[in-house]
Amino acid sequence: MNKRLSVFAALLAADQITKYLAASNLPAAAGPPRFLSLALRYNYGISFSLSSESPRAAMTLAAVSVVALLVVCAASRVLRSSLGVMFLWGGAVGNLIDRLIHGRVTDWLYAGVYLNAADLWLCTGFILVLHDAARPVR
């Protein structure tokens, strides 16, 4: 348990530090950026800037998603022991903190869409959880 909690804490810290550094040092994205470039953009919507006209809906969805993840993890022995879940938690909590404190998420990487470390953690966590779920239970 301590190992997974340490992974969560490290992922959350890395997300928050990179967002702080991006907001402090990168100019705001102007025009279409080059693929795989550092580009500061504030996301008021949900992932990939969907629903950006409704920040309250994005905040509600983020909070509900964190609670749903908590419920699902509590009900599943496989998920409770999955390292992938720590990536999901790191990403979900990282972006939720941004929404609670700033009312938006700081994205700093452009790879066809704007994203941040928390988004990368969410994608990685999803893949790891799928891998864990496909393995036979011992």
Task: Tell me whether residue 119 is one of the annotated catalytic residues.
Answer: yes
pLDDT tens sequence across 78-136? 677 789 999 999 999 999 899 899 999 999 999 988 999 999 999 999 999 888 777 77
For the ranges 3-7, 28-32, 75-79, 92-96, the lowest mean pLDDT is seen at 75-79
Global pTM value = 0.82
**Domain count of the fold of the chain:** 1
CA-based nearest residue to 122, from 3, 12, 1, 42: 12
Helix (H) or strand (E) segment spanning residue 112: none
Question: Binning pLDDT at 50, 70 and 90, where does residue 44 land?
Answer: confident
Question: Binning pLDDT at 50, 70 and 90, where does residue 12 land?
Answer: very high
Nearest-5° Cα angle at 135, 131 to 138: 140
The token duo for 13 is: 């810290």
CA-based nearest residue to 47, from 100, 101, 119, 99: 119
pLDDT at 15: 98
Print the domain residue range for 7.
2-134
From CA 109, how far away is CA 113, in angstroms rounded? 8
Spot the catalytic one: 15, 98, 119, 132: 119
Question: Binning pLDDT at 50, 70 and 90, where does residue 138 land?
Answer: low
From CA 1, how far away is CA 107, in angstroms rounded? 30
What is the four-CA torsion angle of 54, 89, 18, 46, rounded to 10 degrees?
Answer: -20
